[in-house]
A and B are shown apart, each in its own frame.
Chain A
Amino acid sequence: MRIPLLTSLMLLVTGFALAQSPVSGFMKKKGEGSVVLTQFRESYDRVFLVPTEVDGVPVFNEVTISSTSLYGEFGISDRFNVIVNLPYIKSEGNASEAVLQNNGFENERSGIQDIKIYGKYSFLSKAVGTNQLDIIGSVGVETPLGNYSADEGLQSIIAIGNESTRFTGFGIAQFMTDFGLFATGQLGYSLRSNQVPNAVLSELKLGYAGSAFYLDAFISNQLSSKDGVDILGEGFTGFFPATRVNFTRIGLNGYVPVAKFAGIVGGVNSYIAGRNVGKSTGYYAGLAFSF
């Protein structure tokens, strides 16, 4: 194998961080798997609204989201992998006690959010000279597992999710050189319930997967259907799941092996543009185990 580490440890770094695609361009072999436990934290005090971004999150001033996420990926066969992701999320506002009392709000919402189950199938894995091209298709479902609410009026500014079930399909192309440089492009479409607008998802990832470490830089986008409403715009009723959430997010993911079957993952990411979304910057770290 030209890229030996890739088959054992490198595949761990995938989309377990929030708001990244949950599927990567790397395939696991039959019987191989990995489990990643991450702790993620992001915060924002500015919000991308229409027509401009605003300083200060309404009511809550600042929002901090921390999550613990369990991510697993398993090779049913060399060409078919299954991915499961389950996050526990805590979303905290920074409203004063008086403001909370005035509105009957609370500064925290937390709980198990949405389970995400994806299958991905390698349609093509072909050597191109000394390089490799992979074409992968993936479909998945994401649905609330916890009993959180997204329908609490403006309290739901800090809701942990949209209470929406989503069916998403991705097409993924990855090209990797024999010395570990790779580029992965993803394009997907997500059908969503609970008035959440359907969305086009895309991601471009450039990185290096070598024996000593893994590193990628990504840019990901969500473009929601125009059926969605803008916060504080026409059609806005205070029901946040119905909002039209677009964003462009950039970030870095890294992985360093520390033992034969274990390694440390980490990354940073930031929203650089958006619509009806917090201007958030976050980071995560975690442990990855492979088998």
Chain B
Amino acid sequence: MKNILNIKSTLIALFAVITFTACESVSSYEDESPSIAFVAVANADFSVLEAAAVRGGVAGVLSNSNPNDPSGAYTVFAPTNTAFARLGLNEETLGVLQKPFLTNTLLYHVSNGNLRSSNITAGGMSASALGPQRRFIQRGSDLYINGSKILATDVNASNGTVHVIDKVMIATGADIVQSAIALQSANVFINPELSFLVEAVVYAGLAEALTASPGSPKFTVFAPTDQAFKDLGAALGLTFNQPSDIRQLPANVVGQVLLNHVFVGEKFTSELNAGNVSPLGGDPLTLGAFTEGTLTVRGVGNNTPANMVIPDVQTTNGIVHVIDRVLLPNL
């Protein structure tokens, strides 16, 4: 009897010990570094980035080591939810973007290897996983990558480093004209955009001037939205329902207005200051104060300045800032 009781006690004790020692314990992995994908998922301020990574198909990629770099690391410049909100994007509205464009945009925020803040210098460049280079810019005490302010640096991840930025970066990988055509052809948003602008450029015979060619200059372009052109039509007492309606205006006038939107040299918002810039044609444009990473811009023929709705789009021959109003010279 005593022996059996001992067996019983031993068995129960054994099971109890096994059961409790087999318990999952947070302490077994709480010291592990999270992956970059985990950082996005675990941080409420990256919920749109998380949703974008899911839709863009890079959540799995950023969970793993980088096979294209000996260190196995990625560096990600991670836009906050506020950064996405600037473009009207949140978890719900990401569907307005074509999936390939979204994926490319995400890859533009990624580079191979660990780029620590100590190795970032103003004026330096960094190649993105998409291909195009990003540029680091010092403005006052703030460091920018392209037009995006770096808000926090060196968030450690198991597979790299995360820096936090305040604006989504966009690179088209094409020149100004082809970039506008990509928008017009609904290859960026699922709905066409910049259709009137593309029509106007073609109508005014300016396509060649804005197309990249060896030795051609770099530009900064203010690109009015379709709604901006429709509003212009209304202001002129015309009806602009479709892009071809722009042809109600003389081609030379359209050309003059368009040249009022372009100046030589590629400037991100982080490199622009309040004051005048001289466009290729027309009259000087007036930039407003640099506020919250953006500036207003006004032509001499405008009563109200235009706002940038999509600033800092990098193309192969310049920077495009999409604006909500056509910039008018003195006509």
Interface set, chain A 68-124, CB cutoff 8 A to B: 96, 98-99, 101-103
Most buried by A among B15, B33, B38, B95: B15
List A contacts of B63 (CB < 8 A). 231-234, 236
- B20, B35, B42, B55: the one within 8 Å of A234 (CB): B35
Cα separation A185 to B92 with both chains bound (whole Å) = 49
Q: Is the CB of A200 within 8 A of B22?
A: yes
Give Cα A248 to B23, complex, Å: 6
Contact of A202 among B19, B26, B93 (CB under 8 A): B19
Cβ–Cβ < 8 Å partners of A202 in chain B: 15, 18-19, 22
Q: Which one, A10-18, A53-61, A159-167, A256-264, is touching chain B?
A: A53-61
| Whole-angstrom CA separation of A248 from B20 in the bound complex | 9
CB <8 Å contact, B19 and A51: no
The interface bits of chain B over 28-64 (1 if a CB of A lies within 8 angstroms of the residue's CB, else 0) are 0111111101100110100100110011000110011
A221 adjacent to B22 (CB under 8 Å): yes
> Within 8 Å of chain B (Cβ to Cβ): is A268?
no
**Binary per-residue interface labels of chain A (201-225) against chain B in the complex, 1 for a CB within 8 Å, 0 otherwise:** 0111000000000000001110100
Stretch in B6-14, B143-151, B250-258 touching the partner? B6-14
Tell me, yes or no, whether A44 is within 8 Å of chain B by CB: no
A154 to B53: give the CA distance in the assembly, Å. 11
Query: B residues within 8 A CB of A96?
Result: 91-92
The answer to whether B59 touches A54 (Cβ under 8 A) is no
How many residues on the B side are at the interface (Cβ–Cβ under 8 A)?
Answer: 47
The docked-state distance in angstroms from the alpha carbon of A135 to that of B5 is 14
Given A101-B95, A273-B25, A273-B26, decide whether A186 and B15 contact each other with a Cβ distance below 8 A: yes
**B15 and A204 contact, CB distance less than 8 A:** yes
Let me know if A19 is at the binding interface, CB within 8 A.
no
- Identify A154's interface contact among B32, B42, B59, B94, CB under 8 A: B59
Name the interface size band of chain A: 35 or more
A237 contacts chain B at the CB level, 8 A cutoff: yes
User: Is A192's CB within 8 Å of the partner chain B?
Assistant: no
The residue from A50, A187, A204, A237 contacting B32, defined by CB atoms under 8 A apart: A50
* Contact partners of A173 in chain B: CB under 8 A: 11-12, 15
A67: min CB distance to chain B, Å: 23
> How many whole Å from B53's CB to the nearest CB in chain A?
10
Chain B residues lying within 8 Å of A175, measured Cβ to Cβ, are 8, 11-12
Question: What residues on A are CB-neighbors of B1 within 8 Å?
Answer: 128-129
Instruction: Tell me the bound Cα distance from A223 to B20 in angstroms.
Output: 12
Distance between Cα atoms of A156 and B315 in the complex (Å): 38
Whether A233 lies near B38 (C-beta < 8 A) is yes
Which residues of A have CB within 8 Å of B47?
Answer: 56
Closest to B29 in A: A50
Interface: B16 (CB within 8 A): yes
Closest A residue to B64 by beta carbon equals A234
**Interchain nearest-CB distance for B68 vs A (Å):** 16
Structural contact, A102 and B95, CB atoms closer than 8 A: yes
| 9 smallest beta-carbon distances between A and B, as pairs | A185-B15, A98-B92, A102-B95, A204-B19, A246-B24, A236-B63, A232-B38, A273-B24, A173-B11
